[in-house]
Chains A and B, each alone.
Chain A
Amino acid sequence: MATVEVQALNKSYGAFHALHDISATINDGEFVVLVGPSGCGKSTLLRCLAGLEEISSGEIRIAGRVVTDLEPRERDIAMVFQSYALYPHMSVRENMAFNLILRKTPKDKIAVVVEEAAAILGIEALLDRKPRELSGGQRQRVAMGRAIVRHPQVFLFDEPLSNLDAKLRVQMRSEIRALHDRLGATSVYVTHDQVEAMTMADRIIVLDLGKIIQMGSPLELYERPVNRFVAEFIGSPSINILSGKIALGGRLVLPGRDGDYEIAAPEGAVPGDVEVGIRPEDFVAVETGGLTGTVRVVEHLGAETYVILDRDGSMIYWRVPGTTRVAVGETLRLTSDPSRLHLFRPSDGARL
């Protein structure tokens, strides 16, 4: 398989600068997820890799070969589209064989390869059907099949699961990942769903406004987000952001109407205003001290429960095991281990 290297890639549409100086290396056999909110440029970046968009400047290399100015067909990539983009006038078999036919592969070999891929995906029985006779999940599998029969250098996925229902999405998520491992492929996967990103990726690239904000393993991103944006984007429910102050003497103060909450600031914190990020699972209930809040909503998910507290008008999410009993209207005191806090600069959200 292959590495994908992107160097100083820029993409503009007229005056609109869609991608700014993107540089990244995707290793051989790695599963990299591009994630970010709508319009962050993640799909554009994927389409640049595919050759469906011309880039304005920079360089793209696949397996060491410069492909910047090559047509999509010359890049040896396969792409799974959000809409699947199956050819409606061809049977499943013809859809899957299309690339091989174009490459003038012998017929008997095509038959073998297509049958193999169909067996891997469990769609042998569907080979002679037309795409319109298939369900969403089956179409998704055919689209995958069309990609894997080719044994390409790189697989590109453009939000392939967003048209499926929730249950199927979870199932296909692990299937795609398993398929990736089985084929030893290099994959680049675009999604706006951070859960998909967290569960599937070896490495996540977070994009916002056309720039790479952070690259790292899912846990790195979760535990050490480089800024407030990444902290809020990764994790569900989202991280709690509270405004506070580092006082002289290394104390972190979170002011509140019912008394300030004071804890030791993380080491090296400089006095001044800060934003404090606390993950919903990092709170512990205490008898005295801590942040006070009134329980407004209790969401039972079974295995765990989300407790939503009102603290002076701002909402705090607290994630507890499903066995914990909390009643609406109760006033609780919460505290957190100082080492689990994330501090951000209020002006630009950068991690302190």
Chain B
Amino acid sequence: MLTLNGRELWIGYALVIGSALAIVAPFLWILMTSFKFPIAISTGALWFSPTGFNYADVLFGARSDFPRNVANSLVVGAVSTILVLVIGTLSAYSLARLRWARWVGRLFLGWTMLFNTVPVLTIVGPWYLFFQQLGLYNTLAGLIVAHIIINLPMTVWLMMTFFRDIPVELEEAARVDGCTPAQAFFKVILPLAVPGLIAAGILAFVFSWNEFAVALNLTSRMTATVPVGIAQFAQQYEIQNGQMAAASIISTIPALLLMFFGQRFVVQGLTMGAVK
């Protein structure tokens, strides 16, 4: 461990505080904005008398779509996360354990790489056309499908690293002990992969919750999710800064909660196998 003394220590503190501020300051600014009346927002006052008006308007206002946005986001996030976990876990197990020919794994890796290098907006156009033909445009189901597709590669890779870290002997012991292959998976392997499921689930949910570009293109007013809803506060003739800030603050709550409780699983998942 590096030990700092005297001036070095102060420089160290300054750097730490500086970088923390760089991350936290914008967030604090929005937090402040969310408690200001429009007049205080436009003067940029640092001292103001706080008001809950923005929150009340966003959550309970007659013309506010925000509660519906939250409901949509929850449905899309929850359903796509559950489905991506089911599909992703089973495919990851298959790729990690069953004796697939080498090209199968490589093809999958190639596809994942390609998929992650291509900007999402490139695919959104074709999706828009497809989904319109299929009748999935402007439905939550359509957005759920899109989010599953986007989240699947990451989920499969994450779960693969978890499965690879579970010794094969455990599965063999289970099979000798009387398990069918399916029982061995559900009774022995899956319980051990729970931290992985939590990590992958949190990442998938948070992604879906925050995802903007696809949601903007595949939804309209009734099916808009939270990020799309927030963007709607900036209209052509009026920008509702206060309401926008309040909605932004509210939108961070689920992600914050999830990360707070699930952080150790996520860190474990992303660094798994890095150090034996």
Give chain A's interface residues, CB within 8 Å of chain B.
50-52, 71-73, 77-79, 81-83, 85-89, 98-99, 102-103, 146, 150
Contacts and interface: CB of A to CB of B under 8 A. Distances in A.
Nearest to A88: B192
B175 interface: yes
A82 B169 CA distance: 9
A139 B192 CA distance: 18
Interface string B171-185: 011111111100100
Contacts of A86: 173
Given A87-B188, A88-B192, A89-B192, A102 B169 contact: no
A142 to B, nearest CB: 12
A52 B172 contact: yes
Contacts, number: 56
B177 A99 contact: yes
Nearest to A73: B178
Contacts of A77: 176
A311 B170 CA distance: 52
A71 B191 CA distance: 23
B126 interface: no
B6 interface: no
A85 B179 contact: no
B169 A73 contact: no
21 contacts: A71-B180, A72-B172, A73-B175, A73-B178, A73-B179, A79-B172, A79-B173, A79-B176, A81-B173, A86-B173, A87-B170, A87-B173, A87-B174, A87-B188, A98-B174, A98-B178, A102-B177, A102-B178, A102-B179, A103-B178, A146-B173
A149 B191 CA distance: 24
Contacts of B119: none
Given A73-B178, A79-B173, A87-B188, 18 more contacts: A73-B175, A73-B177, A73-B180, A77-B176, A78-B176, A79-B176, A81-B169, A81-B173, A82-B169, A83-B167, A85-B167, A85-B169, A85-B170, A85-B173, A87-B174, A88-B192, A99-B177, A102-B178
Nearest to A50: B176
Given A83-B169, A85-B167, A52 B192 contact: no
A303 to B, nearest CB: 39
A85 B183 contact: no
A158 B172 CA distance: 12
B192 A72 contact: no
A52 B173 CA distance: 10
A18 to B, nearest CB: 16
B5 to A, nearest CB: 41
Contacts of B192: 88-89
A320 B126 CA distance: 86
A89 B178 CA distance: 18
Interface string B144-180: 0000000000000000000000010110111111111
Given A85-B167, A89-B191, A89-B192, A52 B175 contact: yes
Contacts of A82: 169
A52 B188 CA distance: 17
B175 A102 contact: no
Contacts of B178: 73, 98-99, 102-103
Nearest to B170: A85
B137 to A, nearest CB: 44
B268 to A, nearest CB: 15
A72 B263 CA distance: 40
Contact of A102 (B167, B172, B173, B183): B183
A81 B191 contact: no
